[in-house]
Amino acid sequence: MKKYSNLTKVIHIVGARPNFMKIAPLMEEMSKYPQYFDQLLLHTGQHYDDEMSKSFFDDLRLTKPDVYLGVGSGTHSEQTGKIMIEFERVCLQEKPDLVIVVGDVNSTIACAIVAAKLCIPIAHIEAGLRSFDRTMPEEINRVLTDQISDYLFTTCEDANQNLIKEGITENKIFFVGNVMIDTLLSHIEIAKNSNILEKLGLRKNNKIKKYAVVTLHRPSNVDNPKILMGILNALNELAKEIPLIFPAHPRTIKQIRNFKHQEMVNHEENFLSEGLNNTNRNVLTIPPLGYLDFLCLMSNAAIVLTDSGGIQEETTVLGIPCLTLRNNTERPITVKEGTNIVVGNNPDNIINTALSVLKNQNSRKKIPKYWDGKAAERIVKILSSKPRLLNVL
């Protein structure tokens, strides 16, 4: 039995790139209340390359993880299973009062299952998002994590409705806004100091060249040679109009090589250390960028083409037109209120929509409610106003 203490011991879980910017504002906010919270940061090691992980710790000034599980890549079951085995050991030793998981990656569901079975309360940040597409691994992770969580913090009101329809009791659901936007708003000024535009030859004498940004990593887009070829064809067609900068996820580069599509892109493997010697490229792939460089690149783009979830939200707040290369989105508010258009992966559709958006550049729309930089504040207020979370270990 855990000894009584006034402190709530919290383990924050991060594992993959999109987790870091969601946990950072929460940890910062909780650190203002050392009388309530004792925080530990656990990194599962799902993402392990420096560009996918360490650079985010540096940019976001996140503390070094207290625990690193180092699970690495594998099949979904291997990755999820390894995280569960290792995280259970940590929980038995640390006896946390609360486990905080974010988003929808394999680290999220793996740690949530472990905590639920040890009867440790779970807070899920970014609960209730639904694409209604169960072929997406993230959708499975979202639905299951929500079912076993005790505090469901949502970014938009439609997420509350999704949860209620799935039978989750209303008193567990809290509409608090978007922690990823907390991070965006608190870093947008610092990101202006990034020299990424100069490094890419996009800014000269204070004039910024018109360019587009591309990111792709979803299995549904990059694991099928025909689909990937179709998208790359569309990008090459668009590149006749506007240069495309494509910071590429490691799995995407691997697949471009596996399918022998290298001639469809100009890959600059050593760009980050050596810079560019020739800036007149069309579809230019570079290694993944750090948070501040990417924020600077995205916020000056004429258009962004992506299959990421978070970028749909970030472009909405930045007022940058976004084409989502998927058949659905779990973030419909970015379409209804923001700058997002879901175009799928049909090459003609991608080209025609992008050209039409580039012609009519007037995409600033509404910023969704509570995407105001204060989501972490709301979450911590709710967690600290609850009766002390009791651990049953």
DSSP secondary structure, 97-131, as one string: SEEEEETTSHHHHHHHHHHHHTT--EEEETTT---
Closest CB to ligand UD1 among residues 217, 378: 217
Least separation in angstroms between CB 302 and ligand UD1: 24
First to last CA, the chain: 6
Q: To 10 degrees, what angle do helices 291-299 and 310-318 make?
A: 50
> CB count, 10 Å around CB of 55?
21
Closest CB to ligand UD1 among residues 206, 273: 273
Amino acid at 265: V
Total of residues contacting ligand UD1 (CB under 6 A): 19
Least separation in angstroms between CB 105 and ligand UD1: 3
33 binds ligand UD1 (CB under 6 A): no
Q: Is position 124 annotated as part of the catalytic site?
A: no
Least separation in angstroms between CB 44 and ligand UD1: 10
Closest CB to ligand UD1 among residues 56, 175: 56
Determine which one of 217, 249, 261, 267 is catalytic: 217
Judged by CB under 6 A, the residue of 5, 31, 63, 73 near ligand UD1 is: 73
Report the C-alpha gap between 47 and 120 in whole angstroms. 25
Environment class of 87 (CB within 10 Å of its CB; exposed 0-12, middle 13-18, buried 19+): buried
Judged by CB under 6 A, the residue of 31, 49, 352, 364 near ligand UD1 is: 49
Is 357 within 8 Å of 336 (Cβ atoms)? no
Mark the segment that binds ligand UD1 (CB under 6 A) among 30-38, 104-112, 205-213, 382-390: 104-112
Judged by CB under 6 A, the residue of 44, 46, 155, 266 near ligand UD1 is: 46
Least separation in angstroms between CB 103 and ligand UD1: 7
CA 185 to chain centre: 15
138 binds ligand UD1 (CB under 6 A): yes
Least separation in angstroms between CB 390 and ligand UD1: 31
358 binds ligand UD1 (CB under 6 A): no
What does DSSP say about strands 122-125 and 151-154: parallel, antiparallel, or unpaired?
parallel
251 binds ligand UD1 (CB under 6 A): yes
Report the C-alpha gap between 283 and 33 in whole angstroms. 48
Mark the segment that binds ligand UD1 (CB under 6 A) among 20-28, 46-54, 294-302, 337-345: 46-54
What does DSSP say about strands 244-247 and 212-215: parallel, antiparallel, or unpaired?
parallel
Judged by CB under 6 A, the residue of 7, 33, 36, 48 near ligand UD1 is: 48
Closest CB to ligand UD1 among residues 76, 386: 76
217 binds ligand UD1 (CB under 6 A): yes
18 binds ligand UD1 (CB under 6 A): yes
Is 85 within 8 Å of 117 (Cβ atoms)? no
Report the C-alpha gap between 145 and 147 in whole angstroms. 5
Element (H, E) at 64: none
194 binds ligand UD1 (CB under 6 A): no
Is 94 within 8 Å of 9 (Cβ atoms)? yes
Judged by CB under 6 A, the residue of 8, 39, 55, 106 near ligand UD1 is: 106
16 binds ligand UD1 (CB under 6 A): yes
Judged by CB under 6 A, the residue of 137, 225, 230, 344 near ligand UD1 is: 137
The residue among 331, 128, 83, 344 whose CA lies nearest residue 227 is: 344
Mark the segment that binds ligand UD1 (CB under 6 A) among 44-52, 112-120, 226-234, 331-339: 44-52
Environment class of 75 (CB within 10 Å of its CB; exposed 0-12, middle 13-18, buried 19+): exposed
The residue among 60, 74, 67, 52 whose CA lies nearest residue 26 is: 60
Closest CB to ligand UD1 among residues 107, 391: 107
Q: Which residues are catalytic?
A: 217
Where does this chain bind ligand UD1 (CB under 6 A)?
16-18, 46-49, 52, 73, 104-106, 137-138, 217, 249-251, 254
